[in-house]
Amino acid sequence: MPLSPDQRAEIEAQRANPKPTLRAVSEGMEAHLYHAHEVLDHGFVRVIDYMGDDAAIVQAARVSYGAGTKHVSNDEGLIRYLMRHWHSTPFEMCEIKLHVKLPVFVARQWIRHRTANVNEYSARYSILDREFYIPAPEQLAAQSVVNNQGRGEVLSGEEAARVLEMLKRDANTAYDHYESMLSQEGQQGLARELARMNLPANIYTQWYWKVDLHNLFHFLRLRADAHAQYEIRVYADAICKVVADWVPIAFAAFEDYRMGGATLSGKAIDCVRRMLKGDAVTQETSGMSKGEWREFMGVVDG
């Protein structure tokens, strides 16, 4: 359970006191504010603030394109048009600020998305809590035999038990020694900025993360994808649910054009055209490598 009674009380207090504003308000998003959506065994995602809504995207686009957009009959059509043609700037006009609690190895992947603002809990200044991500048994998967970056089958019960035992024991030992090194009882006590080096990558950290909608969609396209590591995908999935309530039209366009879409190469388009004319096309006659052909088949065959 990631939230303490104190935290729950704090959230209740924040949610108890609405104030009037003249800004754009997204009703769907107000319902999410401050609530912690639980992720993994100790993590969460919660919305701290947001700017804009579907109408703000349209408004920004109409500044740019002025009368030129009037022929697009409605807001939904315009938003879909913008998404389809990779117009990024109107989506940048919406912004979201999240409070996220996540394991360090997930944070290390996440931070590679550079176009965002971050304030992370500092283990130079403060002491981390004894909270580690321990995978659920159904997530303890073997190395994939078909690709180098993924998981294959779930481990057998016995092997899984051995793994869980090692993860738990090492985490606890590392944390015991972390506390022991920091302790000032009968000794000087090691500096926090040094002691933290003993902690494993499944310890939880937390941060405030602020990002615009265009860059968030980019993050979600990569991290809510089936090929993303499960432990970051569950965060992306939780954020998707929030975004669907915040900017429902933009999110539907994102799902259709990005999450559900696919990019075909020039070679692949040629193949589709030949196939639609009735030609039998094979990998050998496609001009594609085996890997490309397999991925192409995944698109056209489903």
Q: Catalytic site residues? A: 223
Rounded distance between C-alpha atoms, residue 94 and residue 50, angstroms: 8
Residue 42 within binding range of a copy of itself, rule CB under 8 A? no
Provide, rounded to whole angstroms, the least separation between the CB of residue 266 and a copy of itself.
3
* 37 versus 210: smaller Cβ distance to a copy of itself: 210
Q: How many whole angstroms from its chain centre is CA 277?
A: 41
Choice between 241 and 256, CB closer to a copy of itself: 256
Pick the binder of a copy of itself from 144, 279, 285, 294 (CB under 8 A): 144
How many CA atoms lie within 13 Å of 166's alpha carbon, on the beta-carbon side? 6
Q: Which of 6, 185, 284, 301 binds a copy of itself (CB under 8 A)?
A: 301
Q: Is 125 annotated as a binding residue?
A: no
Q: Which is nearer to a copy of itself, 171 or 239 (CB)?
A: 171
Q: Does 136 bind a copy of itself (CB under 8 A)?
A: no
Beta bridge partners of 154: 141
Binder among 38, 248, 257, 283 for a copy of itself (CB under 8 A): 257
Residue ranges in 51-70 that form contacts with a copy of itself under rule CB under 8 A: 51-52, 56, 59-61, 63-69
- Which of 120, 130, 240, 244 is the binder for a copy of itself (CB under 8 A)? 120
How far apart are the two ends of the chain, measured CA to CA in Å?
Answer: 39
**By C-beta, is 74 or 241 nearer to a copy of itself?**
74
Query: Coil, strand or helix: which one is 151?
Result: strand
* Residue 242 dihedral angles phi and psi, to the nearest 5°: -65, -45
Q: Is 89 in the site for a copy of itself (CB under 8 A)?
A: yes
Q: What are the structure tokens assigned to 107, written together?
A: 């944070």
Q: Are 62 and 174 in contact (CB under 8 A)?
A: no
Phi-psi region at 199: left, alpha or beta (left = phi > 0; alpha = psi -120 to 50): beta
With binding defined as CB under 8 A, does residue 4 bind a copy of itself? no
* Binders in 149-208 for a copy of itself, by CB under 8 A: 149-153, 155-156, 159, 162-163, 166-167, 170-171, 173-174, 177, 180-182, 184, 187-194, 196-202, 206-208
Positive/negative CA dihedral, 66, 67, 72, 73: positive
220 interacts with a copy of itself by CB under 8 A: no
- What number of other Cβ atoms are within 10 A of residue 291's Cβ? 9
**Residue 151 among known ligand-binding residues:** no
Q: Return the SS3 of 185.
A: coil
- Binding-site size for a copy of itself (CB under 8 A) equals 139
Cα separation, 212 vs 247, whole angstroms: 12
**Number of CB atoms found within 10 A of residue 255's CB:** 16
> Is residue 286 within the footprint of a copy of itself (CB under 8 A)?
no
Angstrom distance (rounded) from CA 144 to CA 149: 7
CB of 67 to a copy of itself, least distance (A): 5
Considering the complex, what minimum distance in angstroms separates the CB of residue 46 from a copy of itself?
Answer: 12
Task: Say which DSSP state 100 is in.
Answer: E
269 annotated as ligand-binding: no
Backbone angles phi, psi at 191, to 5 degrees: -60, 140
Minimum CB distance to a copy of itself, residue 169 (Å)? 8
Binding site, annotated residues = 89, 109-114, 120-124, 196, 212-214, 218, 223
